[in-house]
Amino acid sequence: MTLLLAGDIGGTKTILRLVEASDKPVLRTLHEERYSSKDFPDLVPIVKQFLAAVDTPTPQKACFAIAGPVINNTAKLTNLAWFLDTSRLQEQLGIAQVALINDFAAVGYGILGLETEDTLTLQEGKPNPEAPIGIIGAGTGLGQGFLIKTGSAYQVFPSEGGHSDFAPRTELEFQLLKYLLDKHDIQRVSAERVVSGMGIVSIYQFLRDRKIAAESPEVAQAVRTWEREAGQEKSVDPGAAIGTAAVEKRDRLSEQTMQLFVEAYGAEAGNLALKLLPYGGLYIAGGIGPKILPLIKNGSFLLNFSSKGRMRSILQDIPVHIILNSQVGLIGAAISASRL
């Protein structure tokens, strides 16, 4: 039996999970706790507090999924003044092997540990277990990555594909592109500026300013508060307010915002699929998808996913799944730890 420590480390919260690994492929969860990251000066005090509470031997291996880039076994969190280094963590925690991985790479590993009920299949396709697996996930940003099978195991590769160019296809999307270029005084617009939480707000502002539909007081207040708090810590999540209003069909402007968002999301997922040909499955990750599931399932996502001219039939053969389990990154960190 091997004790593993898995962590999902973000600027807002840190989740730790103690896992038992045996000769069987299943990893058994022994204990899990959630902490407010900002209440601690570093990751080490959190881990020590966690291990003291569970009163078990020190884990032999640990892997922490980090919301930010991991370079040469070090990481600086995007929204937190923590600098993490595997050598220091090993020394101060007394854990023999410690790894840091990007949070989207952790999602890639997590796919390998998902159960049937953890996903919803949008398109059956024609699965090929030897082919690559693709991942795309809209949340705070737009993550993209892929898995390639080598022998009996998969290797996970993150990418920065979310920062590739936004490719408008309709007159309305061209207007959105011009709006974003002018509004932010920039030379290019990335896919992430449209397909992400901030993208939802940008689309809403664009449609609002073009007077496509009237605002509802509730959503308008959330968006205005967010705009006033520019450069400050945010007290509202306007993207969530817009998405909820659209799902509940109580605000026409929000519905049109999310319609454009879902179409752009599907199109970008199709772009990734064309580059990878992931007949092993394309997985929709990120926090937004499950929250707007009825909008993802209504057909416009897949329509725009496969709307690639002569390549339509190829994309219709690719299995497409949406990840419902919000802890897929934590599962992936545990799997990654088990492989150290």
Q: Which residues are annotated as a binding site for ATP?
A: 7-12
| Binding site per annotation, positions | 7-12
3-state secondary structure of 330: helix
What is the identity of the amino acid at 327?
Q
What amino acid is encoded at 269 in this protein?
Answer: A
What secondary structure letter does DSSP report for 124? -
Residue 31: partners with Cβ closer than 8 Å, 6 or more residues away: 17, 18, 50, 53, 54
C-alpha–C-alpha distance, residues 317 and 126, integer Å: 5
Q: In this structure, what token pair is assigned to residue 81? A: 């003044």
Angle of helix 197-209 versus helix 238-247 axis, rounded to 10: 70
In angstroms, the CA 186 to CA 107 distance is: 31
Inter-residue contact 2 to 18 (CB < 8 Å): no
CB 172 within 8 Å of CB 147:
no
Q: Beta-carbon neighbour count of residue 212 at 10 Å?
A: 15
Residues facing residue 154 across a β-bridge: 149
Beta bridge partners of 143: 137
User: Taking CA 145 as the corner, what is the angle to CA 17 and CA 269, rounded to the nearest 5 degrees?
Assistant: 120
- Tell me if 326 sits within 8 A of 119, measured CB to CB: no
Tell me if 143 sits within 8 A of 104, measured CB to CB. yes
3-class DSSP state for residue 155?
strand
Q: Find residue 36's DSSP bridge partners.
A: 13
Report helix, strand and coil shares of the chain as percent, to nearest 5: 45, 25, 30
